[in-house]
Chain A
């Protein structure tokens, strides 16, 4: 019996390793090729080189796209937090009809296919008179990033002891003081972790951006354009960097979520 159990454990472990390999091997290959000395992606490699990182750094269009992406990611994450955190607090504090429905609807932009959200926003923004461009992309990203901030912060608020809000007021704090001194510190990690997640989501967003960007390019769109004529090693280089940054952001986000 003991031996049997041992065997099944090994089988499960093997299966898990296979799944992980299936998921991550492509990324590993991209990273390996990023250091390839050759111009063509082939194995075995002809040597180790950092030259593709240099080529990448000298590609002005790529760097400009990266700048755009950074601005969009930072600004839309900020907007999502500024709207999402008080929104979550309001949902926590007040009972109103349709509250549970709202909690789900807020998630919709994350669940809906990006192409649908993109078309919808394009039509809507056109009707409003917002032209395609940076502002439209930022607005578009903010809407679906609220979907990552609000539910996470709301979930954290619900795990908090509700009595501490009354205790703060009982001890003389105004509503605003309570929010700043009691609520924010207690949901701080949820805010940071959802902001990091928002940032990564915005950085690699294509469908919504594609409908709203107009003439300027963001990093993922630029890369996508570059690969239409075959994958060049500099794409591997920038992909490796994006992967590394995303990995760090997600790890931090995870760590903060585990805390308390």
Chain B
């Protein structure tokens, strides 16, 4: 009952919305400001769907703003100032949920706004569980996982996540992200907690202490990173023996820069990245964005993106279309975090848990870090 009411209510809202777009169809804005992360990821978006879209619509221009890292704070400030200058913002799913909570992102109905799969599967089925928020339009699945120096681990390369905590077998520094998310889960896992119980344990103060105590065993051997580019640099320079980062970064260290680095996929944490549309856009800009986003997240476009970067397309129907890297001509499928060989033991970022516990655990984590 509840579910259907919500569904009906939201489709009513969006139904009204689509009518408005239809009205405004004649005067879609000629310019879009797209916000993304910069670097190779933004380049993959540009090549896979922004440039093709602009070729189809020669009168439209797109401007990139590389502000995704501060997107939540900036959108909030823009909203308070009453002048939202962004049209489409690329954020990680956790940020999309917060923007939705704060009323800063527009709620959408996937089936109305997004294209169906070529075989007619509706968008909501095609994206499935990845639609983690009413405001979120997923693009890719990426993972946070480890890379290690093949020349620094001897004859027995690490195969399990717990090798990260084993400083006897693998002496040397490790790089971990300077935040509790992911690190706490890995610590508990290697402290003997069952994978199924990780979040139940982490919800208790004792469990948090347990995780920090485990991290404490390698505290002096860790370099804490806050930018995704840190670990690749540290690995390339031989500063660290292993370190966590986004799998696409490791792909470029291994395949593009040919460094002696290999992947440790065990206990990789899947996360999602996608678009949100800022709330309160004027009709003409909204109509343009809707038109663009429908194109940019269709099955072929998401599959195209994986030619340029090793992140998995968020649509089920895109997976069979993943081909070879556009420049290097290597098969991309084995480099995808979702490839069956790589995805034997995985976590999915627990959005609800971290929305609740982020402030609390972060305070403890930072206090522990500062000691």
Is A bound to B? no
